[in-house]
Structure 1
Amino acid sequence: MSEKDTISIHLVREALLQSCAPGAATVEALSKVGIVPALLEQPDARVPATAYARLWRLLARRRDDEFFGMDPRKLKSGSLAFLCGAAMAQPSLGASLETGLGFLSLMLEQMPAQLVRQQSLAEIVLLEPEPKRAFTYFTYWMIVHGVACWLAGRRIPILAIELRCPQPDFYDDYRVMFSDNLRFDRPRTRMIFSADCLDLPIKRSPEELKRFLAYAPANILVKYRDPNSLATRIKNDLRQMPADSWPETDGLAASLCISASTLRRRLADEGQTYQGLKDSVRKELAIVWLAEPQVSFTEIAARLGFADASSFYKAFRKWSGSNPGHYRSLILNEAS
């Protein structure tokens, strides 16, 4: 992670809320990690992700709590290291998650969790007695998801995150870190992903663990997506028009007053392709419409520009590892 990767000042405020007294103590802590205290008064300010990671480590060390004082029990310093060590001894990601969630459920009084496998989908369900603030949930998910990705050696795509808390005033960075599909004021708190990931083998060495812990949490903070990037602009444009009217590469390039080769090169510089952007928007919209029971699969397929429902089924399974019927059943089955 480089200094150009940034985190919203809102997350800095959230980290300080229950872990550092306002006033002189906050000014001292921020100055120590290289964050200008005056930025707290600028709602659009962003700070280097590396500085945010230093703040995380400083607060954890001073409070002897790696969970920012957000649970009656401290997640004592060294807990992340113990969790990773125990989890990496397991043969598969599913077993690692069971071990890690069990450990966190023992350590944190109000954040018990369980892993549930439902055919082609898996979910981590929190059984907290009362709703928490959004930052508490996302700190928990950052630990669990970040460790899981490191254990598997690849990013685990999240299909949806549902939270019992109200939608906070600011949540843009959470969408970048986890999923565009964040749903608030839900009956349960859970993270949903493809069950295929549970079978991934774990092959991490003690040396790799040392390197991982040396750079945590900076290495599990996801790079901020530039809102002014070409890819973001294209995705925003695609969302505003029916899928069957999306332009081909040449037409898109012409609308941007650049050549098709320049379009491909600029997207490649951002690690993107036009086809990938179209698939991303289709998946994003499909997940939203699957949560609306009155919208049929045939209608969703048509809205997304597929020839028929069968083509949509195949594409959704490729995107998510699950068929859309099972996903809809799980996402709407809120009473179970």
Structure 2
Amino acid sequence: MAAAAPATNTTVSIAFVRGAVQRLAPAVAAAALQEAQIDPALLARPDGRVPAAAFARLWMAIARQIDDEYFGLDARRMKVGAFAMLCHALAGQATLDRALRMALRGFNLFFDDIAATLRVSGGQATVLIDNRIQPPEARLFAEETLLVMLHGLVCWLAGRRVPLSRLDWAHPRPAHADEYRRMFSPLLHFDALSTAMSFDARALQAVVQVDATALKAFLRDAPQSVFLKQVAASGWSDRVRRQCREALARAEPAPTLDTLAGSLGLSPATLRRRLADEGATWQQLKDAVRRELALQHLAEGRLTVDEIAARLGFEDASTFYRAFRKWTGQAPGAWRAAAGTGEAAVGSMPA
């Protein structure tokens, strides 16, 4: 993989950072975190987030230090340059079907302990993962990483975001499960027999139209270009999320679905359908933006809980309090204290 892409407003869960460094020697992990400009103290915060660009830098820093683009998770290294070589081969395929099958053969050649196969049945294309990596924490992150790469490649090769119709995990629900809804699909199933991602099999017929310029740009911005393909900036979900975030960040009233649809030149029904095609709903997107901004404001420590509730468009602080507990399992004041910003200026709500 090449240099990281320019910074964006997209953030990723700190859980992925913990997964990335879990197999590293302490000195290697510390050096990689420093190069990525990620504060090691964030690793202890269950709801911490880092910019996508920072995670991309971490991925590259680790790959360079251990010559492995797969974080040292498999018994066999995925040496630096392997992903780029695979992408060159995929870009020359006629259809997504042929490219995806080649990608799976490639990854199965790179790895000894994890493998993926494609099954097409009942109008669904399903990629199933067989994983022998231990311990469970490493096995989960290995599957997260492989799915990010595979889904990112599918979206890139198809020339659009390919929504997943279902995502099964052969694991209990992790604390950061909501991240999967944003990255992959709102239809999640845990404790399954095997980890698998499914999508409409008709997408396999998409013609691969990747020219030399597009290939060069994709590889130049990898790995960030890989995991951001799943939430492509041109998608309707991203447009809705961005407009909602911009309005709330300016302390304006939260936009409604009707006003957003009008600003995008669509009817509300059409916007609902287009969001559904991307595996999203207006309520999910609005809640995700509110949650992200709430964590940001609490960590910064400049606003009281009452002020945050008002800025995010809640009727009152108690409504925000209930929503925040649902999102994180903690009261806003308790989360702020755990974040190291102290108990001060938390408003009238109890911690």
Decide: shared fold, TM above 0.5.
yes
Query: Any idea what SS the aligned residue of 1:13 has?
Result: helix
Match of 1:217 among 217, 220, 223: 223
Alignment: residue pair count? 258
Are 1:231 and 1:277, in contact at CA under 8 Å, matched by a contact in 2? no
Using the TM superposition, give the Cα deviation of residue 195 of structure 1 relative to its aligned residue in structure 2, in angstroms.
0.6
Residues 1:6 and 2:30 are matched in the alignment: no
Match of 2:190 among 167, 176, 184: 184
Write the deviation string for residues 220-243 of structure 1: whole angstroms up to 9, x where unpaired. Answer: 2235989x98979xxxxxxxxxxx
Residues 1:44 and 2:52 are matched in the alignment: no
Q: TM-score, normalised by structure 1?
A: 0.67
Identity across aligned pairs (percent)? 35
Query: Any idea what SS the aligned residue of 2:50 has?
Result: strand
For 2:332, the equivalent position in structure 1 comes to none
Using the TM superposition, give the Cα deviation of residue 127 of structure 1 relative to its aligned residue in structure 2, in angstroms.
2.9
For 1:160, the equivalent position in structure 2 comes to 166
Are 2:13 and 2:50, in contact at CA under 8 Å, matched by a contact in 1? yes
Which residue type is aligned with residue 144 of structure 2?
Answer: F
Are 2:74 and 2:133, in contact at CA under 8 Å, matched by a contact in 1? no
Using the TM superposition, give the Cα deviation of residue 188 of structure 1 relative to its aligned residue in structure 2, in angstroms.
2.1
Pairs within 5 Å for 1:1-336: 2-18=7-23, 20-22=24-26, 24-129=27-132, 133-222=139-228, 264-266=258-260, 274-275=268-269, 276-277=271-272
Using the TM superposition, give the Cα deviation of residue 113 of structure 1 relative to its aligned residue in structure 2, in angstroms.
1.9
Q: 1:108 to 1:264 in 2, by over 3 A?
A: same
Matches of 2:144 and 2:254 in 1, distance apart?
Answer: 41
Are 2:96 and 2:204, in contact at CA under 8 Å, matched by a contact in 1? yes
Query: Any idea what SS the aligned residue of 1:84 has?
Result: helix
Matches of 1:86 and 1:134 in 2, distance apart?
Answer: 28
Structure 2 unaligned segments of length 5 or more: list them: 1-5, 246-251, 282-351
Are 2:168 and 2:190, in contact at CA under 8 Å, matched by a contact in 1? yes
Are 2:129 and 2:143, in contact at CA under 8 Å, matched by a contact in 1? no
Using the TM superposition, give the Cα deviation of residue 37 of structure 1 relative to its aligned residue in structure 2, in angstroms.
2.2
Matches of 1:184 and 1:171 in 2, distance apart?
Answer: 10
Using the TM superposition, give the Cα deviation of residue 155 of structure 1 relative to its aligned residue in structure 2, in angstroms.
0.8
Are 2:244 and 2:254, in contact at CA under 8 Å, matched by a contact in 1? no
Using the TM superposition, give the Cα deviation of residue 266 of structure 1 relative to its aligned residue in structure 2, in angstroms.
4.6
Using the TM superposition, give the Cα deviation of residue 40 of structure 1 relative to its aligned residue in structure 2, in angstroms.
2.0
**Which sits farther off after the overlay, 93-102 or 113-122?**
113-122
Matches of 2:10 and 2:280 in 1, distance apart?
Answer: 24
Which residue type is aligned with residue 135 of structure 1?
Answer: F
Using the TM superposition, give the Cα deviation of residue 14 of structure 1 relative to its aligned residue in structure 2, in angstroms.
1.1
Write the deviation string for residues 263-300 of structure 1: whole angstroms up to 9, x where unpaired. Answer: 54456779997433477579779xxxxxxxxxxxxxxx
Query: Any idea what SS the aligned residue of 2:126 has?
Result: strand
